[in-house]
Amino acid sequence: MAQLMDGAGKLSWVLLKSVMRFTFMFFNNCVAIPSYCLYLLLLQPLRIWDSSAFWHIEGVMFKWLLAMVSSWGWIAGYTVTEWGDDVRDISEEEAMVIVNHQSTGDVCTLMMCLQDKGTVVRKMMWLMDHVFKYTNFGLVSLIHGDFFIRQGKAHRDKQLIYLKEHLEKYYHSRDRKWIVLFPEGGFLRKRRETSQLFAKKNSLPHLTHVTLPRLGATHVILKTLSAQQENGSVGSDSGTRNQRVNKSKGLQWVIDVTIAYPKARPMDIQTWIFGYRPPTVTHVHYRMYPIKEVPIEAEALTDWLYQRFVEKEELLAHFYNTGSFPPPDGQKEAASRQMTLDPVWLCMVQSFAFASGYMWYNVLQYLYCCLF
């Protein structure tokens, strides 16, 4: 009976905590997202007068919004340990980030672990499934200039054309530096069986922890955003010195990010919101490739991309067996880094959001009374 009462007490606490977290996040969204939109609406004259200043301010507020999402997991004890290359060294250079995709929590994990990477968060562009357009964060992503892509053969060709046009129109004009995509094209649990059948049919590696990536979006991004040398290969130093000063250097890195969850249990958005899972450390491994090492031709790029996901498979297999990622070549042990967020800064961001919501509520109420 004592054990039963103890279990009921723990369950009641989990349910109460979940309700409290959901209530806080609901009001957090209700004040933060409308405030973001109203501030940018107020700043539209600045967008016409000085576009770069407008997008700088937008980027700062975008980073604050992502910090709020990060804080939801942080206060529940969901933290990140980082492995591999230190990407902070190239935070001001242009990069394409390719990530394995296991659940909706992958996006939240990236929002958290990129917070301490300089200006990356405010200058990044996301590629995500079109269904995210209809979520609470969809309007923010539309304003920020993220791209929503439709999956499926019926839409593939048109979507790649739309992606190219989107990049040409928004990427450099809004001073974007990093672009994040999930080349697998869907969650691991949904695509694994289909991917394994395709691999068997085409004599490709059998993968369990990842799926074979799709080429389309990766190829378009490389062709559109990479500087082209005279021989047609990808490079970051094409053109004269004056041209390089006045124009973007193009993509300079491909960053291969591998997300691993303890016991291969992905963290989904529901867990992130309600916090019913005990404190969990998500592990993120980075590997950087200079853009000159990345082929641009479709066939060679396909082989290169497949090899990256074979390496991801090996990394994840090692992690699930040992609890850590393997050491780099020539080293005996792999070093990890604990990613941290400043709680004072998070409190300041949240306070600003609620203060802004209160201010805009009073402004709109005053305008309504004046008009009606």
pLDDT in tens, 330-341: 777 888 899 889
Residue 19, in any domain of the structure:
no
- pLDDT of 155 reads 76
Residue 26, in any domain of the structure:
no
Mean of the per-residue pLDDT values of the chain: 88
Q: Rounded mean pLDDT of 37-54?
A: 95
Q: 33 falls in which pLDDT band (50, 70, 90)?
A: very high
With 80 as the cut, is the pLDDT of residue 353 above it? yes
Q: Rounded mean pLDDT of 160-184?
A: 94
Number of independent structural domains in the chain:
1
Q: 130 falls in which pLDDT band (50, 70, 90)?
A: confident
Residue 362, in any domain of the structure:
no
The proportion of the chain whose per-residue pLDDT surpasses 90, expressed as a percent, equals: 69
Contacts of 335 (CB under 8 A, 6+ apart): 83
Residue 314, in any domain of the structure:
yes
Q: Rounded mean pLDDT of 165-186?
A: 93
What residue numbers bound the domain in which 203 lies?
Answer: 79-231+248-326
- pLDDT of 318 reads 94
Q: 32 falls in which pLDDT band (50, 70, 90)?
A: very high
Higher pLDDT, 65 or 155: 65
CATH of residue 298:
3.40.1130
- pLDDT of 5 reads 62
Residue 160, classified by CB atoms within 10 Å of its CB into exposed (0-12), middle (13-18) or buried (19+), is middle
- pLDDT of 334 reads 82
pLDDT tens track for 212-244: 999 999 999 999 998 754 334 455 444 433 333
- pLDDT of 133 reads 83
With 50 as the cut, is the pLDDT of residue 317 above it? yes
Residue 319, in any domain of the structure:
yes
Q: 152 falls in which pLDDT band (50, 70, 90)?
A: confident
Residue 239, in any domain of the structure:
no
Q: Which range, of 15-19, 163-167, 206-210, 363-367, averages the lowest pLDDT?
A: 15-19
Residue 126, in any domain of the structure:
yes
Q: Which range, of 12-26, 228-242, 311-325, averages the lowest pLDDT?
A: 228-242
pLDDT tens track for 261-302: 998 999 988 888 898 889 999 999 999 999 999 999 999 999
Residue 316, in any domain of the structure:
yes
